[in-house]
Amino acid sequence: MSNRVCVAGVAGRMGRTLAKRLVDHPELNLTAATEQPGSAWIGRDLGELIGVGKLDICVSDGLSAVIEDCDTVIDFTRPEATLEHLSICLDSVKNLVVGTTGFTSAERQMIDQAAAKIGLVIASNFAIGVNAAFKLVEIAARILGPEAEVEIVEMHHNQKIDAPSGTALTLGEVVSQVRGSSLSDTASYGRHSEADKRKAGEIGIHSLRGGSVVGEHSVIFATSGERIEITHRAESRENFAEGALRACQWLRNQPHGIYTMSDVLDLEQFQ
């Protein structure tokens, strides 16, 4: 069964990577691409943008104009753009794969509600290795218990806007869920204090920015006399693209609802 794909925000770093991977994909067909109004690429051939020769796919300035040319939209843009795309997908009943991060609680609730009508996969990080790390962190948190002190350190390139990264927050949420607590109640961001020592049960989250780092995340479990570190380093955006395309394929055969990469990779089998 054909699965026609539109890449939203195709001129961005992830957008270009996704489009290139889709050109010769055996099961997914790249049929549309969008950019924000005013982009120099509007109306130009997508193949020129990604350096693969003419594709006869013109970059559109809005999803509404091309929504009927696709079955699934992949969106790695910004929250305001993603919510606009979500509304269009709802009206046309099209699946949506979301890699955008930085949503507020209210915005995330809007995404969750859309699952009553369309299929969505939403993840803070689509890299298959990072999702394996999520599972390893969950298992370690269970084994080590609440006595282990947890620190999360992440680093990204100097152009990344949100901090902490969505992946770092997800890692914190994984630990919090195991402990039956809320990250909002236990997180300490970029710790700075001259008077207070580390509080029991808190989760430290620290963000570093510099150079061209694609993405690096470490979760440190520290106990009296020993330390466990679980680290994932992304060396290419190809890893994120591979996971997003895998999610695209998987979602095509699912009923409407909201899913995560844990569902796509069937990670619940590993307990």
Residues labelled catalytic: 156, 160
Token look-up 């080590």 returns: 144
Instruction: Describe the chain by its helix, strand, coil percentages, rounded to 5.
Output: 40, 25, 35
Which residues neighbour 138 within 8 Å (Cβ) at sequence distance 6 or greater?
174, 175, 177, 178
90 and 82 in contact (C-beta within 8 Å)? no
- How far apart are alpha carbons 114 and 168 in whole angstroms? 25
163: left (phi over 0), alpha (psi -120 to 50) or beta: beta
Token look-up 């209210």 returns: 106
Residue 83 phi, psi dihedral angles, 5° rounding: -65, -35
